């Protein structure tokens, strides 16, 4: 007799096997049409099933395609966001003298860090994110940010504090 937790894991793997055999071809085709690239489609289809495994529950059979498409669509957004950030970073370092261009390993670390920062900023409300970026990237004073956003200086102080707290929380997570 199997332990209950092992039975649950075996059942999940069985459900995912069925999900995979029933829908993998459809998912990969859907992604290939969306991306125009079979290689990226294969990678994201694989990552979709990994996400389901990591969550520890398979969708109900009648919800399978909708669920797979929802996860895969999020992965597509992540892929495009990553490529946009990588391209912007490549443009930024292309303008630098060769002596200060980072190594490929350092570039990969920097891109990962930029992606983490992007995710943190994307999780913040628009005014918090805007205030933070205006302060840190544009060097604007709180009073100027307040005028631009149409809020009080104390609101800007709270927005900046909230953004910094989010950054610190991510650093220690």
Extract the tokens encoding 127: 């005014």
Extract the tokens encoding 136: 């840190």
Say whether pLDDT at 42 is over 90.
Answer: yes
Mean pLDDT to the nearest integer, 119-148: 94
Say whether pLDDT at 134 is over 80.
Answer: yes
**pLDDT score for 64:** 93
Mean pLDDT to the nearest integer, 140-144: 96
Query: What is the 8-class DSSP label of residue 3?
Result: -
Mean pLDDT to the nearest integer, 71-96: 91
Q: Which of 126, 113, 130, 127 has the alpha carbon at shortest distance from 167?
A: 113
Mean pLDDT to the nearest integer, 139-145: 95
Instruction: State whether the Cα torsion 11-13-18-22 is positive or negative.
Output: positive
Q: Which of 88, 134, 129 has the alpha carbon at shortest distance from 111?
A: 88
Residue 17, helix vs strand vs coil: helix
pLDDT band for position 1 (50/70/90)? low
């Amino acid at each position: 007799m199997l332990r209950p937790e092992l039975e649950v894991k075996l059942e999940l793997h069985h459900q995912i096997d069925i999900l995979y055999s029933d829908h993998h071809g459809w998912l990969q085709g859907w992604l290939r049409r969306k991306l125009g690239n079979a290689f990226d489609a294969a990678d994201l289809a694989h990552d979709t099933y990994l996400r389901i495994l990591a969550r520890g529950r398979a969708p109900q059979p009648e919800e399978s395609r909708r669920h797979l498409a929802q996860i895969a669509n999020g992965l597509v957004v992540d892929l495009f966001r990553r490529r946009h950030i990588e391209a912007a970073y490549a443009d930024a370092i292309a303008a630098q003298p060769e002596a200060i261009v980072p190594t490929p390993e350092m570039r990969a670390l920097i891109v990962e860090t930029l992606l983490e920062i992007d995710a943190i900023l994307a999780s913040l409300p628009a005014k918090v994110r805007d205030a933070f970026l205006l302060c840190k990237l544009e060097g604007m004073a709180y009073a100027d940010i307040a005028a631009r956003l149409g809020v009080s200086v104390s609101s800007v102080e709270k927005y900046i504090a909230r953004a910094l707290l989010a950054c610190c929380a991510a650093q220690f997570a």
